[in-house]
Amino acid sequence: MAAASILHADLDSFYASVEQRDRGELAGRPVIVGGGVVLAASYEAKAFGVRTAMGARQARRLCPQAVVVAPRFAAYQEASNDVFAVFRDTTPLVEGISIDEAFLDVGGLARIAGTPCDIAARLRRRVAEQVGLPLTVGIARTKFLAKVASRVAKPDGLLLVEPDQELAFLHPLPVEVVWGIGKVTAAKLHDRGIATVAQLAEVDEHALQSMLGRASGRQLHALSHNRDPRPINTGRRRRSIGSQRALGSRYTPPRELEESVVALVDRVCRRMRHARRVGRTVVLRLRFDDFSRATRSHTLPFATAETALVLTAVRALLREAMPRIRTDGVTLVGVAVANLADEDPLQLELPFAERGRMSGRALDRSIDAARDRFGTAVVTRAALLRRGPDVDVPKLPD
């Protein structure tokens, strides 16, 4: 049996930890990052029941003494880059999962770096000393169990699951720790008296498939027995590039909503061009006042990173959703482009630019070059002149 050599490294309450690191007066105090919605909460705030994605009003009721701070995404990205530099200095086999977590394979480092536990302890110490952030690490034979181990070890802990103790560790845990089990699936399992991973493992695979669908049933049955053959994937690439903006609980007029959409499209397309990626599927995501969500998408006949083309598609999706927006109100809007591919440098633009008129792609390149040299505020779309700085909300950390 293979040794436990996969590490799942997860920064604790990442956004809130960065705020506590950078502002000494916040150390040990309950901290909430975000205005209309909780983007992150320190463990001191979580102790009062505050959770990520919770409405700000509810969070303040639960923890009125919490310090609420505005997000600083540039600081979070810089901290993430610093942490990942430590990861890659530890092993070349690093698979980033999000801005605040990654898998590391240290199986081949025994002679030069010690046991996986030694490496994990040193990794945590280096991140604390060099970046100033707490890091939890789970160690196991599979990616799935390493992630479960880090979840159990939080906050600021280290946990090794030895190969001969895997099921003894996993089976007493609640089914919610299994990848793919969210609130809806957990409710279905609880209705059938399945509350622990051990009880899930006892259910026949075909019965799970009948209950939850073929793919989900097969996956959950395998994970409940810790069967997860996936290796560390260092070549993992984004399937989509997106951005979103929290609007708060107040009513957002349609004009302001469209301004937010223009800013998001502008940002997303610029990121795609910097990454030399193009995409075909344009996605609009909305969250309403009652916390329900809606996703609308449109697939273009060709892949593009041109701002004007993506914006036209997003505006059409926004018009389709406007009746419900006017009725229910919107607290968050997001834009993404999926079905990504590498940009083809030889691909010709269609339609060709008219003589004497700059093409959309050439215009985008010129704007990108100006912003790269002089800053993002040097060129602003006319539709955004009335707006202040917008708030970009990346994938929420755990």
Separation of alpha carbons 350 and 28, rounded Å: 58
Give the helix ranges, DSSP H, for the chain. Answer: 14-22, 43-46, 56-62, 73-90, 110-113, 116-130, 143-153, 166-170, 183-191, 197-202, 205-212, 214-224, 254-274, 307-328, 360-374
pLDDT, mean of each 10-residue run, the chain (398 residues): 90 96 95 87 96 88 95 88 93 90 92 93 96 97 96 96 96 93 91 96 94 91 94 75 79 87 91 87 88 86 90 93 90 89 57 46 63 56 50 42
CB 305 within 8 A of CB 270: no
Termini Cα distance of the chain: 31
> Residues 6, 105: one domain?
yes
CATH number of the domain enclosing 17: 3.30.70.270
> Residues 115, 244: one domain?
no
Domain that holds residue 247: 240-384
Domain endpoint, select from 162, 195, 211: 162
- 379 located within any domain: yes
> Residues 29, 132: one domain?
yes
- 398 located within any domain: no
Task: Give the per-residue pLDDT at 389.
Answer: 44
Task: Give the per-residue pLDDT at 396.
Answer: 41
> Residues 146, 289: one domain?
no
Longest dimension (CA), the chain: 72
Q: Is 202 a catalytic residue?
A: no
Residue 238 has φ and ψ, to the nearest 5°, of -65, 140
> Residues 115, 41: one domain?
yes
> Residues 212, 350: one domain?
no
CATH number of the domain enclosing 347: 3.30.1490.100
CB 291 within 8 A of CB 55: yes
> Residues 264, 343: one domain?
yes
> Residues 144, 249: one domain?
no
CATH number of the domain enclosing 187: 1.10.150.20
- 287 located within any domain: yes
Task: Give the per-residue pLDDT at 41.
Answer: 95
Task: Give the per-residue pLDDT at 346.
Answer: 39
Task: Give the per-residue pLDDT at 353.
Answer: 43
> Residues 147, 182: one domain?
no
Separation of alpha carbons 63 and 162, rounded Å: 39
* Region of 279 on the Ramachandran plot (φ > 0 left; ψ -120 to 50 alpha; else beta): beta
CA nearest to 343, candidates 302, 314, 387, 381: 302
Task: Give the per-residue pLDDT at 15.
Answer: 94
CA nearest to 241, candidates 185, 303, 320, 184: 303
Separation of alpha carbons 315 and 262, rounded Å: 9
User: Per the structure, how many domains does the chain have?
Assistant: 3
Task: Give the per-residue pLDDT at 395.
Answer: 44
Residue located via tokens 């060129």: 379
Task: Give the per-residue pLDDT at 253.
Answer: 86
> Residues 143, 79: one domain?
yes
Distance of CA 214 to the CA centre of its chain: 27
- 16 located within any domain: yes
Domain endpoint, select from 113, 145, 162: 162
Residue located via tokens 């919605």: 37
Q: Considering Cα of 239, then 242, then 246, then 251, what sign does the dihedral take?
A: negative
CB 93 within 8 A of CB 234: yes
Among 44, 101, 166, 306, the active-site one is 101
CB 63 within 8 A of CB 54: no
- 111 located within any domain: yes
> Residues 126, 211: one domain?
no
Separation of alpha carbons 189 and 315, rounded Å: 40
Cα distances (angstroms) measured from residue 109 to each of 5, 80, 103, 106, 115: 9, 24, 15, 6, 8
Separation of alpha carbons 44 and 100, rounded Å: 19
Task: Give the per-residue pLDDT at 4.
Answer: 92
Domain endpoint, select from 162, 187, 214: 162
Separation of alpha carbons 190 and 185, rounded Å: 9
> Residues 158, 14: one domain?
yes
